[in-house]
Amino acid sequence: MTLKKPMTAKRTPIWQSIATSVTEDIAEARYGPGDKLPTEAELSARFGVNRHTVRHALKALAETGLVHARRGAGVFVTQVPTDYAIGKRVRFHRNLEQAGRLPGKEVLHLETRTADAKECEALALVSGAQVQVYDGLSLADGNPIALFKSVFPAERFPNMLEQLSRLRSVTAALKENQVTDYTRAWTRMTARRASPTQALHLRISEGDPLLRTVGVNVDADQTPLEFGTTWFAGDRVTLTLTE
């Protein structure tokens, strides 16, 4: 009589167990979209394994699209891109609310200065005219998605900087200046690479792709009132052109 050897259960690879554990952390919201995961060294210490095993687990998660690595920055939970409409009426807060996101603005810099040649042309100003400049950061659910610069004619909007600082909304500030509606006259879109400063603000790596839009908004009389440039983090938005 021949005795059969008892069958032993197949062991789960350690890297796969680590990947499962990190996936559970994300599913239970310990790490949200856009959050940075612990470093390889930190995960190695947590699970008592070498960094090669952790690297294998993170690679497997990246292949599923759950996380992505940014050169020199670390590994991040993948964000679902925010739908952002570029059309006749571009409204930041409305766009994000319609996409189910919580909009936010952070003021980076406000100043009054002399308009440069491009600003004079876009806003139909004479050489040497003064402009109000608003540099800021756009947020979706607390995560940065874009940097922007908005330029307004200072003679028409002398109190714009105070209003923007207080209201954090171009639309609301324009309403205080009796501009109840405005539309986009034109928009140009190009691809760019993030500079060191842009990368710092957007929490991405230098050289990561950006989508740059440049446009002019006009009032009901078709008079230019805002010359704007926005740099969107390429992996965080889906731009849609609408009428």
- The phi-psi region of residue 100 (left if phi > 0; otherwise alpha if psi is between -120 and 50; otherwise beta) is left
194, two tokens: 């993030």
pLDDT for 209-239, tens place per residue?
899 999 999 999 999 999 999 999 887 788 7
Looking at the predicted structure, is the pLDDT value of residue 161 above 90?
yes
What is the distance between the alpha carbons of residues 142 and 33, in angstroms, rounded to a whole number?
A: 10
Task: Work out the burial of residue 239: count CB atoms within 10 Å of its CB; fewer than 13 is exposed, 13-18 middle, 19 or more buried.
Answer: middle
Specify the 3-state DSSP secondary structure of 79: coil
pLDDT of residue 204: 79
Prediction pTM value: 0.72
Looking at the predicted structure, is the pLDDT value of residue 82 above 80?
no
**Mean pLDDT score across all residues of the chain:** 88
- pLDDT band for position 5 (50/70/90)? low
Contact 96, 103 (CB under 8 A): yes
Q: What are the backbone angles phi and psi of residue 72, rounded to the nearest 5°?
A: 80, -5
Q: What is the DSSP string of 132-163?
A: EEEEEEEEETTEEEEEEEEEEETTT-TTHHHH
pLDDT for 90-100, tens place per residue?
777 787 777 77
How many C-beta atoms surround the C-beta of residue 93 within 10 A? 17
